[in-house]
């Protein structure tokens, strides 16, 4: 079974063909906080650069990331996004 971090990376790569992609599992920083489900896979940070995001507003870039992740967003409590085109 894949980790959530790996699945996030694969889905963003397939959908947005990034030139730079960093996915960081920040769940340990939030242990015991709201949204910590005990799996160690609830809080993530994504930094992505992709030509597919060029010319889009910040909100549109974030929506593109959410769309690429699809149903994974139901299992992620928090996702910090820095997206550039």
Domain ranges across the chain: 4-84
Q: Which residues contact 69 (CB under 8 A, 6 or more apart)?
A: 8, 11, 12, 76, 79
21 three-state secondary structure: strand
What number does CATH give the domain 4-84?
3.30.300.90
- For 57-71, the pLDDT digits (tens) are 999 999 999 999 999
- For 30-84, the pLDDT digits (tens) are 666 666 666 667 889 999 999 999 999 999 999 999 999 999 999 898 999 999 9
Torsions phi, psi for 75 (to 5 deg): -105, -10
């Amino acid at each position: 079974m894949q980790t959530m971090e790996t699945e996030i990376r694969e889905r963003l790569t397939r959908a947005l063909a990034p030139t730079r992609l960093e996915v960081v599992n920040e769940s340990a920083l939030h242990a015991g906080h709201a949204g910590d489900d005990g799996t160690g896979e609830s809080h993530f940070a994504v930094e992505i650069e992709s030509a597919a995001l060029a010319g889009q507003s910040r909100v549109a870039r974030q929506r593109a990331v959410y769309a690429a992740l699809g149903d994974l967003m139901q299992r992620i409590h928090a996702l910090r996004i820095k997206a550039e085109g």
